[in-house]
Chain A
Amino acid sequence: MQPDSRGYFGAYGGTFVPETLMPALEELIEAYQKARQDDDFQREVEYYLHHYVGRPSPVYFAAALSRQIGGARIFLKREDLNHTGAHKINNTIGQLLLARRMGKQRIVAETGAGQHGVATATVAAMLGMKCVVYMGKEDTERQSLNVFRMRLLGAEVVEVCSGSGTLKDAMNEAMRDWVTNVRDTFYVIGSVAGPHPYPMMVRDFQAVIGREARRQMLEQTGALPHCVVACVGGGSNSMGIFHAFLEDADVKLVGVEAGGLGLSSGKHAAPLNAGRPGVLHGSYSYLVQDRYGQVTPVHSISAGLDYPGVGPEHSYLKDNGRVHYAVATDQEALAAFHLLCRTEGILPALESSHALSEAVKLAPQMESHQNILVCLSGRGDKDVHTVAREMGVDLG
């Protein structure tokens, strides 16, 4: 669906930002609308997605995993095989090409797990643009490999100590930079969150995931999947894969939020399951907050899901019931991580492991002729330190 002219998906979305940024958002909306209808721009995006990112990414039938679990067959959309190892680059290719068209020379981005930061730094290097990435202090520690990768790519990585030192604080700091340098700077938001037009624009750039996967499932199985599962932090890989299936009423869509230590523990990152609507980072959407509207600390083993908000289109899809939002705890995600490593020889990102965990729960309740499509949004190399720590292994 398209948001209305004010950037609302139903009741959710909008542009809650300081006045200083409003003209920049108006400029962005106009530039993006033009680019969207410009064949040259679309061809340029496609060129880089094909030759640079390596698209289309495969859909892989996880036969051994499916056999072990029983029930429905599980297919993996292999976004982990993209250049830089996650779906994030689909969006950064689009946004940086747009930034270049708009004549912006300086790029800022926030990052949680570091995947969006790496994807932004990568494309900035390729296009010769200056890039500054904001990353929470806690995340720089648990994702030190990605910090180093970004620096190798020529980006400046700024450690953010304010607040909880995670993704939301990195986003606050990126917004402060943008509001200060708005005249020459383009803010590359990494998820379907933020003020209009970001939720729509990022969704459009990520929608390639679902377009390909829908076609690939038809080619490989002769039918649409019965169920599509993806993890939801801010929600870009899930919006990207869901979008092509929204009109297919028979296809069940399941988003999986980070359950952390369990919803009842209060230590989770599941706004759609345990939050209520509020305004953060430019849009009105479900939010983990206290009774006074203060955003409360969230927890997930996965840095990329450790975010108290969620994209407004997800809030809309929750309320209208088109998408079911489940949760997977840290331990369930870890179990799915190990399972995929052992059965398929694929090391999934901890974010994606949340989606896998849900597929593992669903498959045995389904028939063997039914198919589940899981968005394997990223690879897990960045997470081996976290997993080792959980296993009590010291990698030094």
Chain B
Amino acid sequence: MTGVQQLAEKFALLKKRSEKALVTYITAGDPDMQTTGRLVLAMDRAGADIIELGVPFSDPSADGPVIQRASTRALRNHTNPAGILKLVEEVREKVKTPLVLMSYYNPILQYGLNAFCADAARAGVAGLIIPDLPVEEAGPLITEADKVGLALIPLAAPTSNRHRLAKITAAARGFIYCVTVTGITGTRQDVTGEIARLAGQVREFTDLPIVAGFGIATTDQAAAVARYCDGVVVGSALVRLVEEQGEDSLQSVAGLTRQLKGVLSSAQVQFGKNG
């Protein structure tokens, strides 16, 4: 099954069950690759629907302090894309959730777009999220990703106008990642101010699932945001647990995952526009 198919099947299943998707993020190689593998299994068992693995980059200019520090730790351990693909290959058979990679563009570009997409698809990666690759520059990577059925998942932002949303959604595969706030990753007080309008506008252009991320840390925030979309991403809140507890973070990461999935499966988030 291709990555695009894995994601489509997952969202179809969620729709049938009237659930919203929980997408969890951790940085690969933080605190080490072995723990990352165990965290993936733990999140999968605890109910994560899609797991995002961050490929660490030396200059994560779209990330807040928590993920910046995680990237630094991971790079100190010599984490690299080939190692991450190897990990995905190893855990792929043991987990039910699609795995997507979040990476800045340069590590993929240096690997080689063609080689990276081929190796990622072979390892079982379902999709890619590249925060510094706007639709204008995405052409070459989309071409390579499409050849192997890997979903290049684009970001839409509160500042994106309708003209841009039309271009973004036209090039989208898998789902649309809507950024809840203008800013970088990391926890925030208010994450619902812009998402209703943005998700509504994106919906006018596409039937692909809409997932919201940036700043969502608590079950209350997840529930509030999920009303307007098909799923939420929680990243920095989980990475913070890994930062604090290292290899011993499995239980608390699984615990937060379970709580978040709990609210996303319940009735209270289902009466949004698309529920």
Contacts and interface: CB of A to CB of B under 8 A. Distances in A.
Interface string B55-66: 001111110110
Given A20-B157, A180-B183, A279-B105, A294 B58 contact: yes
A100 interface: no
Interface stretch (A10-18, A34-42, A266-274): A10-18
A208 interface: no
Contacts of A64: none
B132 interface: yes
Contacts of B104: 279
B68 interface: yes
B244 interface: no
B109 A279 contact: yes
B111 interface: yes
Given A179-B62, A279-B105, A289-B110, A18 B57 contact: no
Contacts of A169: 59
Interface string B150-174: 0000111111110010001000000
B254 to A, nearest CB: 30
Nearest to A277: B109
Nearest to A287: B106
B241 interface: no
B182 A293 contact: no
Nearest to B168: A19
The residue in A16, A278, A280 that gathers the most chain B C-beta atoms within 10 A of its C-beta is A16
- Chain A's interface: helix, strand, loop or mixed, by majority? mixed
A235 B164 CA distance: 32
Given A18-B61, A19-B164, A292-B107, 14 more contacts: A14-B137, A16-B137, A18-B131, A19-B157, A20-B160, A162-B65, A163-B59, A179-B62, A278-B106, A280-B106, A292-B110, A295-B58, A295-B106, A296-B58
Contact of A179 (B60, B80, B184): B184
A15 B132 CA distance: 9
Interface residues of B, number: 42
5 contacts: A16-B105, A20-B157, A278-B109, A292-B81, A294-B107
A131 B235 CA distance: 32
Given A162-B68, A179-B184, A183-B182, A18 B157 contact: yes
A22 B155 CA distance: 11
Contact of B107 (A15, A172, A282, A293): A293
B182 A20 contact: yes
Contact of B61 (A24, A281, A291, A292): A281
B7 interface: no
B207 interface: no
A106 interface: no
Contacts of B161: 23
Interface string B80-118: 110000000000000000000000111111110000000
A228 B133 CA distance: 37
A23 B132 contact: no
B62 A18 contact: yes
A78 interface: no
Given A18-B157, A172-B59, A278-B106, A6 B136 contact: yes
